[in-house]
């Protein structure tokens, strides 16, 4: 079984589409969808339950903590972490199982956006390379439960860049594969904030993280600069 873990907070406008399209993209393999919710104040949880997903309310809010909580209740030996506004490619389960069969213990798909802007397409082109610097959660992540546990799960001290940080650790415990299919993610942040401006903000946060700036500083910067701020 593949356990698909989706962290959410006030995603009522997205979660139904994500769950239904994830089911539609399944290649006929056994899956469970776990919505790990950070105490949403909208209809995220009732919507997820109506779509036949498992929904859990997490004591600790934050994508890292919520994904860890989802992993702790997962029944599958394979974990697949997916953002609430992202849709996996057709037969993504088959691609994951084939990668594991070929001795890859973790991996991701390439990225695409639901908005046909040349700059976004150019950014997505770089995600075909197996380089840690361009590995982000929007591309989704599969990892065997064994390797996830060995790596220690997501770092719950991180409210930003948790998706980058874990890649370095899971690669120490097995081979990582960038698969050919593409995850289609929402360009809503780029549209709300301006495509070039949003990319500049992401690059700034990325650079400051690697320069050692604190999570508190990065979080405040995120809240200050990004309209309709949501991690």
pLDDT in tens, the chain (231 residues): 999 999 999 999 999 999 999 999 998 999 999 999 999 999 999 999 999 999 999 999 999 999 999 999 999 999 999 999 999 999 999 999 999 999 999 999 999 999 999 999 999 999 999 999 899 999 999 999 999 999 999 999 999 999 999 999 999 999 999 999 999 999 999 999 999 999 999 999 999 999 999 999 999 999 999 987 666
CA atoms 7, 34, 137, 105: torsion sign: positive
Q: Judge if 226 and 144 occupy the same domain.
A: no
4: which 2 tokens? 């698909």
DSSP secondary structure code for residue 154 in this structure: S
Sorted by sequence, the CB contacts under 8 Å of residue 125 that are 6+ apart come out as: none
31-37 and 54-57 strand pairing: parallel
Write b or e for each residue in 38-69: b if 16 or more Cβ atoms lie within 10 A of its Cβ, otherwise e: bebeeebbebbeebebbbbebeeebbbbbbbb
Same domain, 178 and 200: no
Q: Quick one: 152 and 193 in the same domain?
A: no
The predicted pLDDT at position 180 comes to 93
In total, the chain counts a number of residues equal to: 231
Together in a domain, 121 and 193:
no
Identify the three-state secondary structure at position 10: coil
Our CA angle for 107, 125, 109, nearest 5°, is 20
207 shares a domain with 116: no
Q: Give the span between the Cα atoms of 137 and 48, in whole angstroms.
A: 21
> In the chain, how many domains are there?
2
Q: What is the pLDDT of residue 173?
A: 98
- pLDDT attached to residue 230: 67
Q: Left (φ > 0), alpha (ψ -120 to 50) or beta: where does 161 sit? A: left
Separation CA 162–CA 127 (nearest Å): 18
Please tell me whether residues 123 and 133 are part of one structural domain. yes
Distance CA(77)–CA(52), nearest Å, equals 20
Domain with 203 in it:
187-231
Q: What six digits make up the tokens of 124? A: 């997505």
User: What is the pLDDT at residue 4?
Assistant: 98
Instruction: Give the predicted TM-score (pTM) of the model.
Output: 0.95
Check whether residue 167 and residue 231 sit in a common domain.
no
């Amino acid at each position: 079984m593949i356990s698909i873990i989706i962290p959410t907070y006030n995603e009522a406008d997205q979660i139904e589409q994500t769950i239904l399209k994830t089911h539609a993209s399944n290649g006929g393999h056994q899956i469970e969808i776990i919505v790990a919710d950070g105490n949403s104040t909208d209809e995220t949880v009732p919507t997820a339950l109506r779509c036949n997903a498992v929904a859990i309310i997490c004591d600790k809010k934050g994508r890292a903590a919520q994904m860890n909580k989802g992993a702790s209740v997962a029944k599958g030996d394979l974990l697949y972490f997916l953002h609430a506004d992202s849709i996996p490619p057709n037969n993504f389960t088959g691609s994951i199982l084939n990668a594991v069969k070929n001795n890859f213990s973790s991996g991701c798909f390439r990225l695409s956006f639901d908005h046909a802007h040349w700059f976004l397409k150019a950014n997505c082109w770089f995600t075909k390379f197996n380089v840690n610097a361009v590995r982000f959660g929007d591309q989704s992540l599969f990892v065997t439960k064994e390797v996830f546990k060995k790596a220690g799960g997501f770092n719950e001290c991180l409210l930003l860049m948790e998706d980058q940080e874990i890649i370095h650790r899971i690669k120490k415990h097995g081979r990582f594969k960038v698969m050919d299919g593409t995850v289609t993610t929402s360009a809503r942040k780029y549209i709300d904030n301006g495509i070039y401006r949003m990319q500049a903000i992401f690059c700034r946060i990325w650079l400051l993280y690697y320069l050692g700036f604190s999570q508190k500083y990065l979080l405040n910067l995120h809240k200050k600069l990004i309209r309709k701020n949501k991690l």
